[in-house]
Amino acid sequence: MRDYSNHTEHRAAERDVEITEIRSCVVEGNFEWNLIEVETDAGVTGIGEAYRGGGVPEIVEYTNRFLVGENPLDVERLFRRIVQEMSGHGGTTGKVVTAASGIEIALWDAAGKLLDVPVYQLLGGKFRDDVRIYCDCHAGEAYAVEDGYTEYADAEAYSPAAYAAEARRVVDMGFTALKFDLDMEADNEPDPYNGRLSNAAIAEKREIVAAVREEIGYDVDLAFDCHWDYTVESAKRLAYELEEFDLMWLEDLVPPENMTAQKEVTRATRTPVATGENRFRVHELSELLYDHGVDVITPDPTTVGGLAETVRIADRAEENYIPVSPHNVCSPVGTMACVHLGAAIPNFDLLEYHALEVEWWDDLLVREEPVIQDGYVEVPEEPGIGVELDREVLDAHLLEGTSGFT
């Protein structure tokens, strides 16, 4: 087995630093946010975030067995060490890579603080001062997510008028790009299993898109997410029906496992098709990019392997002239990490914001101004990611039955 532990002997004294502890906590926002801290013997602590949901804290705790004593500045080597040490635990994909992603982000934050530079500088430099945000929003009280299970609302919550009203509200906040969910409970009629859309379901979706476009016009970018629900033929029919509305993209039309099916859908329509959020590491996205099976690639840095792995994906996307719009359902910690990524890659397009309903989202950080202003986030110039947690707010919103960092 390859050994990614530290075999180097020469390093300047001021950079001879060791990890003393890695810990995590779970904050209950609209999702369960997995926050991670990497503590060092230099008095510097890095903060990161791994994708939402269970299993991550246990994996983070496990990594203390082999990462304590390592140098946090060796970010990419340590990511590979996590994958290698846990290869027998499914370490090349899934929750191990998710946990490793959050640790990797915390390591970049620690490295930036130790070297007194922002993370974007460590990723290669800056292409832009501000990162454009698209707001993921919902029609009224369209659904609630509890423990990862979608509970649909009554049918009237999905009316075209409800979508249009929410679109207007969010545009009036200053956002110039929006995304809505387009999958709904009615898609399961007459059969809840086979993934086929009826003519009536497609007609209803067309009415929704038309209503939003009529309300906000064509100067606002507009996307819709379908959450991997449909068969190839239904995905084609839906995409074809929506071509006239010049969407920014249709997202996750078909289940993610079959690359050939994904490419078939993408090539069948002039509506741009996006996918990529639930794939792991560059290996699971390369075929889509090199075979042009996607028009917009949407990796989630807190899932796919962290910031450096997302840069590698972006490099392959750039070779094929494909834009990158990262998936992001994070707290302000993961969001700001993605902002540094957006600053550092040339083919970055927009970053998702998926916490409009969390009134205290900004309060999780110690700062005077909101993170998002007029649909943009200014790239921080502070060392590391440039965030400081408000510990009182964090402790007030911990997942019930769990403890914080202290």
Residue ranges of domains in the chain: 13-117, 122-382
What average pLDDT does range 326-348 have in this prediction? 98
Q: What share of the chain in percent tops pLDDT 70?
A: 97
Q: Is the pLDDT of residue 149 over 80?
A: no
Contacts of 340 (CB under 8 A, 6+ apart): 108, 118, 119, 120, 123, 307, 379, 380, 385, 386
Most distant CA pair in the chain: distance in Å? 69
Q: What is the DSSP string of 47-78?
A: EEEE-SSTTHHHHHHHTHHHHTTS-TT-HHHH
Pairing relationship of beta strands 351-353 and 32-40 according to DSSP bridges: unpaired
Question: In a 3-state reduction of DSSP, which class is residue 42?
Answer: coil
- In whole angstroms, what is the distance from residue 306 CA to residue 373 CA? 25
Instruction: Tell me what pLDDT residue 186 has.
Output: 85
Residue 10 pLDDT > 80: yes
Task: Please write the tens of the pLDDT for every residue from 201-252.
Answer: 999 999 999 999 999 999 999 999 999 999 999 999 999 999 999 999 999 9
Q: Compute the mean pLDDT over every residue in the chain, rounded to the nearest whole number.
A: 94
Which residue, among 80, 60, 74, has the nearest Cα to 122 in the 3D structure? Answer: 74
Alpha-carbon distance of 186 to 152, in angstroms, equals 10
Cα 128 to chain centroid, rounded? 20
Per the DSSP assignment, residues forming a β-bridge with 150 are 145
Mean predicted confidence (pLDDT) in 318-337: 98
Dist. CA 188–CA 370, nearest whole Å: 40
* Cα angle 43-47-52, degrees, rounded to a multiple of 5: 155
CB-count exposure of residue 268 (10 Å: 0-12, 13-18, 19+): middle
**Phi, then psi, of 402 in degrees rounded to 5:** -115, 170
pLDDT at 391 over 80: yes
User: Residue 150: pLDDT band by 50, 70, 90 thresholds?
Assistant: low
- At the topology level, CATH places domain 13-117 in Enolase-like; domain 1 (3.30.390)
| pLDDT value of position 166 | 95
Given this model, what pLDDT does residue 380 score? 97
Note the pTM of the prediction, 2 decimals: 0.95
Q: Which fold has domain 122-382?
A: TIM Barrel (3.20.20)
Look at residue 97 and tell me whether its pLDDT is greater than 70.
yes
